[in-house]
A and B are shown apart, each in its own frame.
Chain A
Amino acid sequence: MPDKIVKTIELKAPIARVWRALSDYKEFGQWFCLDIKEPFTVGQPIKATLTYPGYEGLLWEVHIKKIQPEQLFSFTWHPAAIDPKVDYSVEEPTLVEFKLEQKDYGTLLTLTESGFDKLPEYRRFEAFRMNDDGWAEQLQNIENYVAKNNVATK
């Protein structure tokens, strides 16, 4: 089981444009769906509220780790911290990193989120509950898995 997520995306935009969308808090808030009122500062906790449909008004909080212009933007946070009744601050946060590379087509962005192995077990279950497809899909996955591996009845 990997403990991190790595995603890459090719952006047809100059690296300076992508950097602004990441590092400028107002721009970040626009695509990330946040109502954010304070600029990103290294070492500072940043609070905002989500505007994402279904999660409007939820607190979003990160700690900015690194701001290296046109190279790296990183923060720690508590992923899928969607239950206002839970104090997530006692848990180990995960680390989110956006890395940029200039390419001939524009910019290659690599997103990494690591540290999932330190999340408490119950949170893994909680996170799953957010998934609309839920259990039915899991059962289907298992059926497909079994069918694919051609496992005979014993």
Chain B
Amino acid sequence: MSPQNRHASVFAALGDATRLSIVKRLSDGQPHSISELTKGTNLTRQAVTKHLRVLEDVGIVNGAKSGRENLYKFDPTPLHQARGYLDLFSAQWEQALNRLKTFVEE
């Protein structure tokens, strides 16, 4: 998959309010079971499982077996790759060029 397609799939996976709410619950960085993620929502276990699988497919969530349960953990790396890094370099250049502007226009 090209990086572009990969990023598009990350956003497609998050372009769903239910999945976004699951990601928000997972974004404390702690592993959570399906029961925990189902609690306090009107979703069924099956629905949560299905959404977690979509998130797992794009690498935002990692599932691991712990005893009899599967625990799910949030991994922000694909998001960083999608949005963060060029913006950051870009912002640094903006600052540098503004310093140059001040320097030559003085």
Contacts and interface: CB of A to CB of B under 8 A. Distances in A.
A109 interface: yes
A128 B80 contact: yes
B64 interface: no
A13 B105 CA distance: 6
Contact of B17 (A9, A127, A152): A152
B76 A146 contact: no
A45 B81 CA distance: 30
Interface size class of chain B, counting residues whose CB lies under 8 Å from the partner chain: 35 or more
Contacts of A142: 11, 14, 20, 79
A5 B79 contact: no
A138 B17 contact: no
A146 B14 contact: yes
Contact of B88 (A12, A127, A153): A127
Interface of B is mostly: helix
Interface stretch (A35-43, A60-68, A85-93, A113-121): A113-121
B97 A9 contact: yes
B103 A111 contact: no
B20 A21 contact: no
Nearest to A116: B86
Interface of A: 1-2, 5, 7, 9, 11-13, 17-18, 21, 27, 30-33, 79-80, 109, 111, 113, 116-117, 121, 124-125, 127-128, 130-131, 135, 138-139, 141-143, 145-146, 149, 151-154
6 contacts: A1-B82, A18-B104, A31-B102, A80-B89, A146-B17, A152-B17
Interface of B: 3-4, 7, 11, 14-18, 20, 23-24, 27, 76-77, 79-90, 92-94, 96-105
